């Protein structure tokens, strides 16, 4: 479904991704964990075409977003097809990035109408259904500035879902939230996992990763160090590296 093969990325001199390969199957929930600076966000951003890779290949639903050309340099899909391909991906950011000048409802309907050319009525119905799903129907006419962080993040999740992405990515969706608000967001993501949605979640919430993810990827220094079923990577027999890392995180 989603595949990164030997992805390289540097910012100037510093290598941030040093040959990362990741594979996400349909219906799978993959958690990416690792220390700050290990390259988790960069990987997710490369997969969402928010950063360009320096080498390697990224495939979404069998189609190459980027692949090495004859000279080994990465070649991206052409503009028109690229946009269509990226619609398969959805992304939820740490700081929500809601549109402050739009009401909650319009945050959800505008992208549907502008990008998917849905009618106002259709967009509205979809938006209200998804707001109900994240428990925020009654906030439809509020503006984001009047919502709590947890509510904003749930709106952002609903907005991403409005576009019917095949794969939904989250970059530390709860890092800006206090523990109580974290739980309300995590329970929304948990519900999505139960629907067998394909999701990639970068998180520091180790309990969440163990309980919700099918697979856990542990990154260190721009490399995937561990990749396996959540129970193995984070279970009783977890490795020294994970123990050391989890000792610092809130495990």
Ligand X SMILES: Nc1ncnc2c1ncn2[C@@H]1O[C@H](COP(=O)(O)OP(=O)(O)OP(=O)(O)O)[C@@H](O)[C@H]1O
For Mg ion, the closer CB: 39 or 111: 39
- Length of the chain, in residues: 251
d(C-alpha 87, C-alpha 167), whole Å: 9
38 in contact with Mg ion (CB under 5 A): no
99 binds another protein (CB under 8 A): yes
8-state DSSP, 138: G
Regarding 91 and contact with another protein (CB under 8 A), the answer is yes
Q: Does 87 bind another protein (CB under 8 A)?
A: yes
Is 229 an interacting residue with respect to ligand X (CB under 6 A)? no
Distances (CA, A) of 203 to 7, 27, 40: 21, 19, 9
Q: Strand 29-34 vs strand 198-202: parallel, antiparallel, or unpaired?
A: parallel
Q: Are the C-beta atoms of residues 152 and 131 closer than 8 Å to each other?
A: no
Paired residues of 4 in beta bridges: 22, 58
In the list ligand X, another protein, Mg ion, none, the entry touching 42 (Cβ below 5 to 8 angstroms by class) is ligand X
- Answer with the entry of another protein, Mg ion, ligand X, none that 111 interacts with (C-beta below 5 to 8 A by kind): another protein
The Cα–Cα gap between 133 and 141 comes to: 16
Residue located via tokens 């290990």: 38
How far apart are the C-alpha atoms of 130 and 60, rounded to whole Å?
25
Under the criterion CB under 8 A, does residue 46 sit at the interface with another protein? no
Q: Which does 130 bind (CB under 5 to 8 A by kind): ligand X, Mg ion, another protein, none?
A: none
- Do 224 and 192 touch, CB atoms closer than 8 A? no
Beta strands in 72-197 (DSSP E): 74-76, 89-92, 167-171
- From the list another protein, Mg ion, ligand X, none, which binds 189 (C-beta under 5 to 8 Å, kind-based)? none
Q: How near is the Cβ of 121 to ligand X at its closest, in Å?
A: 40
By CB under 8 A, the count of residues binding another protein is 27
Nearest distance in Å: CB 42, Mg ion: 8
Q: Note whether 171 and 44 are within 8 A (CB).
A: yes
Least Å distance, CB 217 to another protein, is: 21
Residue 36 binding ligand X, by CB under 6 A:
yes
Q: What is the distance between the alpha carbons of residues 113 and 70, in angstroms, rounded to a whole number?
A: 39
- Residue 250 beta carbon to another protein: minimum distance, rounded to whole angstroms: 25
Using the contact rule CB under 6 A, the part of the chain among 29-37, 68-76, 78-86, 113-121 near ligand X is 29-37
To ligand X, the closest distance from the beta carbon of 12 in angstroms equals 7
Residues near ligand X, by CB under 6 A: 11, 16, 34, 36-42
Residues near another protein, by CB under 8 A: 48-50, 83, 86-87, 89-91, 93, 95, 97-101, 110-111, 114-116, 143-145, 159-160, 163
């Amino acid at each position: 479904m989603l595949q990164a093969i030997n992805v390289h990325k540097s910012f100037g001199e510093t290598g941030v991704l040093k040959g990362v390969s990741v594979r996400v199957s349909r219906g799978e929930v993959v958690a990416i964990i690792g220390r700050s600076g290990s390259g988790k966000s960069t990987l997710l951003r490369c997969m969402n075409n928010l950063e360009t890779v320096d080498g390697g290949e990224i495939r979404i639903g069998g189609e190459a977003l980027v692949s090495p050309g004859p000279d080994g340099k990465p070649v991206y899909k052409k503009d028109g097809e690229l946009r269509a391909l990226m619609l398969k991906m959805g992304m939820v950011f740490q700081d929500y990035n809601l549109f402050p000048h739009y009401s909650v409802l319009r945050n959800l309907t505008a992208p549907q109408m502008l990008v998917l050319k849905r009618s106002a009525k259709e967009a509205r119905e979809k938006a209200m259904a998804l707001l109900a799903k994240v428990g925020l129907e009654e906030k439809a006419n509020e503006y984001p500035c009047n919502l709590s962080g947890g509510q904003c993040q749930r709106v952002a999740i609903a907005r991403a879902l409005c576009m019917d992405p095949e794969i939904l990515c989250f970059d530390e969706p709860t890092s800006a939230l206090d523990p109580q608000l974290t739980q309300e967001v995590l329970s929304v993501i948990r519900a999505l996992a139960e629907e067998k949605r394909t999701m990639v979640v970068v998180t520091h919430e180790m309990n969440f990763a163990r309980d919700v993810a099918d697979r856990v990827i542990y990154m260190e220094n721009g490399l995937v160090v561990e990749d396996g079923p959540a129970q193995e990577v984070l279970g009783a027999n977890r490795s020294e590296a994970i123990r050391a890392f989890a000792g610092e995180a809130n495990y």
